[in-house]
Amino acid sequence: MKLAIVGIQGLPNKYGGFETLASFLASYLSAEHEVTVYCSAKDMPLRTPEYNGAKLLYFSFSSHGMQGMIYDMLCLKHAVKNNELVLFLGFGAGFLMPFLSKRSKHKIVLNFGGLDWQRNKWNAFSKAIIQLSEKLLVKNAGQIIADNTLIAKYISTTYNRASTLIAYGGDQVTKVPITAASLIEYPFLKSAYAFAVCRIQPDNNIILIIEAFKDATIPLVIVGNWNESAFGKTTLQTFKEQPNLYLLEAIYHPVTLNLLRSNCMVYIHGHSAGGTNPSLVEAMHLGLPIFAYASGYNEATTDGLAKYFSTATDLKNLVNTFDVTNENLASLKMKDMATQKYTWQAVAEAYNNVFKQQLKA
């Protein structure tokens, strides 16, 4: 089939669950289908024509902020006209739905991820717009995919629609051994440390996590895009001199990133808005002890096997009372669970089954 993937910034991916998903779907499905991934020419300056077997098609709008909604609508309009099926990722194209034909709507398979309108980076007006856009998409899409049991429940109770549960893979990560050269570049590798990797935005509980580690028994390493937002820049300036913190700029090289996270004592996951977060699934595959924010989504992803926090005091207490034996036992159980549930081959096969069913419907 001619399959389009719409709603992401572009490929190759850096951070972002949808970009990671699109990358692996392109890799697995392009052997069987003609896959086109829609990308932002503003956000992807290299404009690679092909990636992982998929054709990349560029539109000259940014994928960020309110301009991102225009970008999503233009891409979706083009995609439904030129493809048999479209996987739309996100919420941005909802206001296009009333103008599409019934046949075009039927082509759309939707995964809107988490409840983006709950993120506290948005003002009240933006939240209302995002929530309405989500409603228009969910009510009109041909098929819906949920990446977390709580998202599936939300779709059912809020919109009275069924969804297919498909999470994310994380089996692309590997443990990277510490070398003499890496010790020179990252001296904190010599001893125990906590680690987090995420977008630097308020709903990932950056401040809460930092406050917990300012005088904790081990240092904290956070890798993220500190210099891409006012919040990130301000937070970096405020805390960069704290001796117990290593606030590193985003690392896109997978070997370096895996080196830092695979050798940590504990992985800290602060995401609060969203369904199943790829970085959490990746930590599970690495067999890391995990302290995760008590969002409900994170408990569902880890099947209650991680430790959870709601406040800085909670997190500080978890770190200061770390029990190696108990945490390693839990991490092994989570690794086994990830191996069974969160692999990219299984994810791609599940998506492929949904696409084929929708094409026949």
Q: Return the CATH number at 323.
A: 3.40.50.2000
Q: Looking at the domain assignment, is residue 265 inside a domain?
A: yes
The residues, ordered by sequence, that sit 6+ positions from 4 with a Cβ below 8 Å of its Cβ are 35, 36, 37, 38, 79, 82, 83, 85, 86, 87
pLDDT band of residue 280 (cuts 50, 70, 90) is very high
Instruction: Examine the domain organization and report whether 14 and 160 are in the same domain.
Output: yes
Q: Looking at the domain assignment, is residue 85 inside a domain?
A: yes
Give the Cα separation of 357 and 360 in Å (integer): 5
Instruction: Examine the domain organization and report whether 29 and 70 are in the same domain.
Output: yes
Give the CA distances from residue 285 to residues 262, 282, 290, 331, in Å, rounded to whole numbers and listed in that order. Answer: 10, 5, 11, 9
Q: Looking at the domain assignment, is residue 72 inside a domain?
A: yes
Instruction: Examine the domain organization and report whether 185 and 311 are in the same domain.
Output: yes
Instruction: Examine the domain organization and report whether 165 and 234 are in the same domain.
Output: no
16-43: pLDDT as tens digits: 789 999 999 999 999 999 999 999 999 9
Which of 225, 237, 236, 229 shows the shortest CA–CA distance to 197?
225
Give the structural domain span for 265.
180-341
Instruction: Examine the domain organization and report whether 110 and 36 are in the same domain.
Output: yes
Instruction: Examine the domain organization and report whether 304 and 353 are in the same domain.
Output: no
Instruction: Examine the domain organization and report whether 68 and 91 are in the same domain.
Output: yes
Q: Looking at the domain assignment, is residue 174 inside a domain?
A: no
Instruction: Examine the domain organization and report whether 314 and 238 are in the same domain.
Output: yes
Instruction: Examine the domain organization and report whether 187 and 308 are in the same domain.
Output: yes
Query: Which amino acid type is present at position 203?
Result: D
Instruction: Examine the domain organization and report whether 206 and 279 are in the same domain.
Output: yes
Give the Cα separation of 132 and 125 in Å (integer): 11
Q: With pLDDT > 90 as the criterion, what percentage of the chain qualifies?
A: 90
Residue 296 has a pLDDT of 96
Give the Cα separation of 220 and 307 in Å (integer): 17
Count of domains forming the chain: 2
Residue 14 has a pLDDT of 73
For the entire predicted model, the pTM comes to 0.93
Residue 15 has a pLDDT of 63
What average pLDDT score do residues 78-103 get?
Answer: 97
Q: Looking at the domain assignment, is residue 156 inside a domain?
A: yes
Instruction: Examine the domain organization and report whether 329 and 208 are in the same domain.
Output: yes
Q: Looking at the domain assignment, is residue 175 inside a domain?
A: no
- pLDDT score of 121 more than 80: no
- Looking at 123-251, which runs of residues are DSSP E strands? 143-146, 164-165, 194-197, 220-224, 245-249
Residue keyed to tokens 């490929």: 11
191-232: pLDDT as tens digits: 999 999 999 999 999 999 999 998 899 999 999 999 999 999
Residue 215 has a pLDDT of 84
Instruction: Examine the domain organization and report whether 141 and 261 are in the same domain.
Output: no
